[in-house]
Amino acid sequence: DQQVKQNSPSLSVQEGRISILNCDYTNSMFDYFLWYKKYPAEGPTFLISISSIKDKNEDGRFTVFLNKSAKHLSLHIVPSQPGDSAVYFCAASASTGFQKLVFGTGTRLLVSP
Amino acid sequence: KAGVTQTPRYLIKTRGQQVTLSCSPISGHRSVSWYQQTPGQGLQFLFEYFSETQRNKGNFPGRFSGRQFSNSRSEMNVSTLELGDSALYLCASSLNAGNLQETQYFGPGTRLLVL
């Protein structure tokens, strides 16, 4: 049972444009959501997070939106840069689950010059 | 501040052997979690340790075990290795200052190949 889903395995965007990565979840106990960026053979790098008490969080070029009623979150990258090319993972956790993160399957973002 | 470190970075073992992987968390972080990444299953939670106690465990067989030391460093052990255990094993640490909504920071991982 995939509790966190990233339905787009890949996304191609031109440099300077907006990248929108989507994530859906099924477990209503999830109350903390994170996005990680990952390069091959490296560990995930934390990008941005959002608590379920918020619907938006911004950090520089990265903004995460949370729609609790739809159980959907998205990561916006504006403007996209070639260095953003990587696999992006959405992850979720529940306060009752201590530090267990449940990850989506990832979306490979390619930003072309 | 140094990040999460994992040793070794690469490991080759044969079926039936056992392996021990090591993780040093970010200084001051008290919670250490382990994840397995494979192409087929993605990133999956193995277990989490805090104050030398396992607090949470994923759906992995008993061949996978771990421990945490008083300095928060952690090790995970896989016994009787199988081909399917070939994966990138990731360690993550978090402060665990009482706020359950905490960010986990990952190490570079140990790439294990079982032949």
Per-residue pLDDT of chain A (113 residues; tens, 9 = 90+): 689 999 999 999 999 999 999 999 999 999 999 999 998 878 999 999 999 999 999 999 999 999 999 999 999 999 999 999 999 999 999 877 667 889 999 999 999 99
* Contact call for B101 and A93, based on CB within 8 A: yes
Beta-carbon pairs below 8 A across chains A and B: 73
Instruction: With beta carbons less than 8 A apart as the criterion, state whether A32 and A51 touch.
Output: yes
Instruction: With beta carbons less than 8 A apart as the criterion, state whether A8 and A23 touch.
Output: no
Q: Say what the pLDDT of residue B99 is.
A: 59
Rounded Cα–Cα distance for residues B55 and B80 (Å) = 24
CA angle at B111 for the pair A34 and B29, rounded to the nearest 5°: 45
What average pLDDT does chain B have? 92
Considering CB atoms only, which of A43, A49, A99 is closest to B48?
A99
One-letter identity of residue A94: A
User: Which among A99, A103, A107, A108 is the top mutation candidate for probing chain B, defined by the most B β-carbons within 10 Å of its own β-carbon?
Assistant: A99
Q: Are strands A56-59 and A32-38 parallel, antiparallel or unpaired?
A: unpaired
Residues of A in Cβ contact (< 8 Å) with B35: 101, 103
Measured between CA atoms, the residue of chain B closest to residue A5 is B42
Q: Say what the pLDDT of residue A95 is.
A: 76
Q: Say what the pLDDT of residue B72 is.
A: 95
CA A62 to centroid of chain Cα atoms: 10
